[in-house]
Every structure is written in structure tokens, then in C-alpha cells.
Chains A and B, each alone.
Chain A
Amino acid sequence: MSAIDFQSVCKVFGEGPKRVVALDDVCLQIGNGEFVTLVGASGCGKSTLLRILAGLETRTSGTIEAAGKLVTAPGADRAMVFQNYSLYPWLTVMENIKFPRQLAVHTRDSTSSDVEVASGRADALLQLMGLSQVEQAYPVQLSGGMQQRVAIARALMSRPKILLMDEPFGALDAQTREVMHDLILHVSRLEGCSVVFVTHDVDEAIYLGRRVVLMAPRPGRIDSVYEVPLPRERVLNMKHTPEFLALRSQILERIRDTCGMRTDLELLQRLSQQAMAT
């Protein structure tokens, strides 16, 4: 049984002349514990698809099942990590990570031993994410990379079956990003949760994903799905292997084809020729 099942999901924004089809007939199955990345040019609906799965956005038609249940609203079984500004600045790192414990969903029928377990889990996540040194710090005191570690730890606190990530490393510098890649691969394997990861960085998508789903704009849709021909265990130097590079250029080519970059280039050429002629 798959962890996530999209059946003919459509999303339309606006009506009449302003009508935009953000998602057109999206079908996709994601397995238990699978790491899937969504890439595509801006406007291809990858973020919208993720947000519909999270329950933050409604769908116009179609069905989505997550962990065997129909998605109708946001839920603790589908934790999400945002690009930024999602941490609570008035709470310390530890308080942020323990935030889910303040919510009724997670404490409704908890016993005192559950509380102990939760506290142990918060400590374990702190260790795992390399945050022990900054336990009592406020988010503003941390670098962007450290802030995202806190956001990931908080998302994992309630043991979600599915982890959704919306360009979580988009605002980080390249070096920090590489560290975060290995960290998230390690953590997701350890936790055994399925991960749906949205990015516009093709390298990131291939390095992290077991499958890469390429989406195309106007209307937003799934264009193609690529199995990544790399071992499960990823190491940095795989980025230089022929398999990686071949898939990378194949995907980049396809993105250029689907987002209309080609016509733009022709126009540019024509314009510069005109400029030379005059």
C-alpha cells in the first residue's frame, strides 16, 4: 500500500477570464518511507500540490489519500517544513521543538510515561540535529541553517508518517545546503517517514530523491517521473558520476522544453539581430 495516493487531482484558481489551472489531473503514488522530490519551473504547481497534500489548500477535484486516510484538512500525520519564518521567535530552540506537545492532539490521552517519552524524544532530536549547544537560544540568534534544523526537529517531534518540505533549503548558502542534504537523508531514513520535497534545484532533487517528479507549467501538471539510478546511500561525490550528470542534463533539458525558455532565446536572438541591423 502506498503512503500517499493522488487520484486525478485538479486545482483551479479564480473564475472567468482570470481562471488559472494550477494543477491538471495529477496522479501520483508515493511509497512508505520513500523520498520523492518535485522539481519544475516556477508556476508549475509543485508548491500547490504539496500544500494540497498538507491540507493547507483545497483541491478543486480528485482525491488524495495519505496514510490510508482521505486528506480533508491539515493534520499531525503530515508535518511540514517551510522555507522560512515558521519558527516561533518568542520560544527558545527547545520550546519550539516541544511546541507540538502543547497541542491537544498530541496530549489528549497521554499518560505520565508518554510525557517522559516525549521529553526524551525532544532531547534525542536535539542531539540528532546537532542543536544541543543552542538549546536555550532564541531563533533570531541562530543562522539560517540552524533555524531550519530546529524547524525539521519540530516537524518530526510528533512522529509524522509523512514529512512535507517546501523548498526548505532555498534560502541557505550552498555549503550549508550540502550539510543539510546529508542530514535530512540520514534523519528520514532513521525515522522511516515518507518525504515529499519541493525544490527548483535539479541537483538537490536528484541527490535527495529516490524518484524525481518533474512538473510543467500552464497548466500545472506532472510531465515525467525519473528513477534516480544511484545507490540508496548517497554520498557527496556521487554528484560527479556519469549517471548523476546524465540525469541532470536530461531533466534540465526537459525543464527548458516545458517552460518556454526556448522561444525566449529565439526572441532574444532576433532582437539582437535587429539591433545590429539598425
Chain B
Amino acid sequence: MWKIRGLLSQRNYWTLAAIGLAVPLVLWMTLTLSDSVNRVFLPGPLDVLHRIETWFGEDNLLDDIGISCFRVIAGWSLSALIAMPLGLLIGNFRVVQALLEPLTDFVRYMPAVAFIPLVMLWVGIDEAAKVAIIFIGTFFQMVLMVAEDVRRVPMAQIEAAQTMGATRIEIIEKVIIPSAKPALLDTLRITMGCAWTYLVVAELVAANSGLGYSIVKAQRFLQTDKIFAGIILIGVIGLATDQAFRLVHRLAFPYLHVRS
């Protein structure tokens, strides 16, 4: 059972996963039902569910979800649009790597939150500012991950193409990109997670809607149930997108999922 990297049947896996999810829920429930903690500090699961219901019914929950999804996807897509070609260049050409990688590494460690005043100054306080924060939070990470994905393409695959007479363009187009594609999709999936974590930060900037904004506002009014609701909703949306990415991975790359 405790064999290192041992096997586990599908059924046992999902049973354990269900237990892993259920135990904290039950603990949470008993803690709040026992009245040993103040509801203001720790609302019960039912309070949170109830809050989601009223949020949906009276407070335009769908609008909040919609605008937050838009901001996350916009910031993340913009980041992907630039990071993909740039990462491809860094991963393939040492010259570009030398020029840009240390710089990217340097900027990557700067906290995205600290850029808020600058973003407000340069971009303003409208929608673009929120997208910009999410972009800053994901872009530098993404560039380095894409470059790494490209570098991981086995040299033998590239050299085989060279000895078949492939040109540089052909090698990039017909070997490196198809070879790196599954890893690139994983990078997109992981950076999507980064993008969501920057949502609350992004919606600190003069927002008046969105899940992150609602969490911040609820904090001001000590509506802990709404804070819980917002956090859980973000978690659920994140989990759903993650699973969607995994499904696409299985459909797009059958060769990685065939039984040998």
C-alpha cells in the first residue's frame, strides 16, 4: 500500500479523493454547528450556500463571474499571445536567450501587486488596468515556461530532421512545435491558475464588479460568508477549467494516452 510510486485502482483513487474532500467539509460543518466559534469568524457551509443563492438571485452573481472570467481570460490570452513566440525564440536561439532570459528572470521576482500604482498611472483605472495586472502576473512566468518546454524537445528529434535535410524553418514548424505542443498546453493550463490568483489583486483597482472585487467589498462589511462564497466560486471555476484543459490534452494528443 505504501510502496513508493505504487499502483492504485481507479475505484480506490476516487474513494480516497472523495474522503479527502469530505473530511474537511464535515470538520467545517461540525465546528460551526457546535457553536464553539462565532459565525462572523467562521460561517457554516450552509450559510455560504445560502449566500451564493442570494448573490445569484439578488446581486448579479453571473455578471460578477462573467466580468472576472473576461478579465482573467483577456490578461492570460494577451500574455500567451506574446509569451508563445517569445518563449519559442528564447528556447531555440541562444542569442535571444542571452538577451532576454536574465531580464525576464529579474522581472519575474518583482511582485505584481507592487505594479498597481504604476499601472494606474500608465494605463488608467478602467478595464485595461485589470487586464494589465493579470498580464504582469502571468506573462514573465509563462515566457520562461514556454522557453523551457521548447528546450526540452529531445536533441535527437531535431538532429534526425537535420540529417533528413530539413531547413531551420521546417525544423521549428514540423519538429519543435509539434513535439513541444503537449508541454505547451500544460503550461497554458498552469498559467491559467496563476492568472486567477491575480484576479483579486487586479480588482483592487477601482473595480465595481467581479468576484475579486466582491471578496474585497465583503471584507469591508465583515461578510465572511460572502468571502467564503467568492473564494469557493473561484476555486470551482479554476477546477473546471483545469479539467477542461486536461480533456483537451487527452483529445488532442492521443499518442500520449494510448496504452503501450
> Chain A residues in contact with chain B, CB under 8 A?
54-56, 74-76, 78-80, 82-90, 99-100, 102-106, 138-141, 151, 154-155, 158, 164
Name the CB-closest residue of A to B182: A90
Bound Cα distance from A164 to B164, whole angstroms: 12
| Interface assignment of B160: CB less than 8 Å from any CB of chain A | yes
Whether B258 contacts A138 by the Cβ 8 Å rule is: yes
Whether A84 contacts B156 by the Cβ 8 Å rule is: yes
| Interface assignment of B20: CB less than 8 Å from any CB of chain A | no
Bound Cα distance from A32 to B256, whole angstroms: 42
Bound Cα distance from A75 to B253, whole angstroms: 31
| Interface assignment of B179: CB less than 8 Å from any CB of chain A | yes
Whether B156 contacts A78 by the Cβ 8 Å rule is: no
| Interface assignment of B53: CB less than 8 Å from any CB of chain A | no
Name the CB-closest residue of A to B155: A85
| Residues of B178-194 whose CB lies within 8 A of A | 178-179, 181
Residues of the A chain whose Cβ atoms lie less than 8 Å from the Cβ of B163: 54-56, 74-76, 78-80, 155, 164
| Interface assignment of B94: CB less than 8 Å from any CB of chain A | no
Bound Cα distance from A78 to B175, whole angstroms: 19
Residues of the B chain whose Cβ atoms lie less than 8 Å from the Cβ of A151: 160
**Stretch in B65-73, B121-129, B165-173 touching the partner:** B165-173
Pick the contact of A141: B157, B161, B260 (CB < 8 A).
B260
Residues of the A chain whose Cβ atoms lie less than 8 Å from the Cβ of B162: 55-56, 74
Bound Cα distance from A113 to B28, whole angstroms: 73
Residues of the B chain whose Cβ atoms lie less than 8 Å from the Cβ of A103: 161, 164-167, 170, 174
Residues of the B chain whose Cβ atoms lie less than 8 Å from the Cβ of A88: 157, 175, 178-179
Q: Give min CB distance, B260 to chain A, whole Å.
A: 5
Whether B165 contacts A105 by the Cβ 8 Å rule is: yes
Bound Cα distance from A151 to B170, whole angstroms: 19
